[in-house]
Structure 1
Amino acid sequence: MTVIPTLETERLRLRPMTIEDWPQYEQLMQSDRSQFMGGPTPRHVTWGIFSHDIAHWVLFGHGALMVDDKTTGKTVGQIGLNHGPLFPEHELGWFLYDGFEGHGYALEAAQRMRKWAFEELGLKTLVSYIDPKNERSRKLAERMGAVIDPDAERHDPVDLVYRHPAL
């Protein structure tokens, strides 16, 4: 049986997804905020993506975790590791819900998940596939020390591939 971890930082709890996360997730994926994640998507596609994020744990031993602010208890976004037939390499991905940008949540969650990926999973490589127009995500990857790898394989030829340094 797959055990989905709960990871912590000083301010954040990265925890398994639950059905209670569905309404906020659905709202995001059906809004313009999802433009760099293939959205906005219709409800049935959104459900497939939500289920995909959970199924990764059973199929690959990693997947998505919701990000909660420990002080307020509010879910501020998601951090995850993707892999499988659509991802040539393990990908570190993230999103924040509306109103939670500018607090360092994405950076803190991404650093914690990256550490877990390298130290606990033993991954040798980790990338982030980022739309060139997604300036916030590009800056976040660069703050984490990731650099563009122009020769890396990608599932979307438009994406930039940011290669994360191994810890």
Structure 2
Amino acid sequence: MTTGTTSLNEITEATAKAVRENPAGAAVVFRAAGTPHGTVGSTVTAGLHRLAVDEPPALGGEDTAPNPVEVYLGALISCQIVTYRFWAQRLGITVDELSIEAEGDLDVRGFFGLDEQVRAGFQAVRVRVRISGPATPQRYAELQAAVDAHCPVLDLTTGATPVHTTLETA
């Protein structure tokens, strides 16, 4: 499994050096913005990138793109993949193949306000990681523990992240 021309350990070391020299530089702000399209769809921009989001017909959409919770699952999977790759190099663990799947259980009564006792989001998420290479199962378990401790998108779900919403009206 190749990771490009720059070693991920080199990136980690350069980042650590930059943060030592300027601790305030460790704080990074990521931004995204969105506008509606169609009945329930949206277009999200993040930097130079655009992401379409929609809902299936059962939820009022046209199924032209993944829905918001599928986008979350995709974000979790992609964050897990990059975190596995960084930490495998950091721990000196060879990974020949890596694939990740995720699925989540959502009860729509929460979203539609049909039962205030039901969460609007996932009630449970299951992640299946398939990994192979020459390391022992114990080393891959060590890698999994490092990924679970350092994956930012996983942390968004397992930790409490304060969200402050400002409403501006015209």
Q: Flag whether TM exceeds 0.5 (same fold).
A: no
TM-score, normalised via structure 1 length? 0.24
TM-score, normalised via structure 2 length? 0.24
Structure index of larger Rg: 2
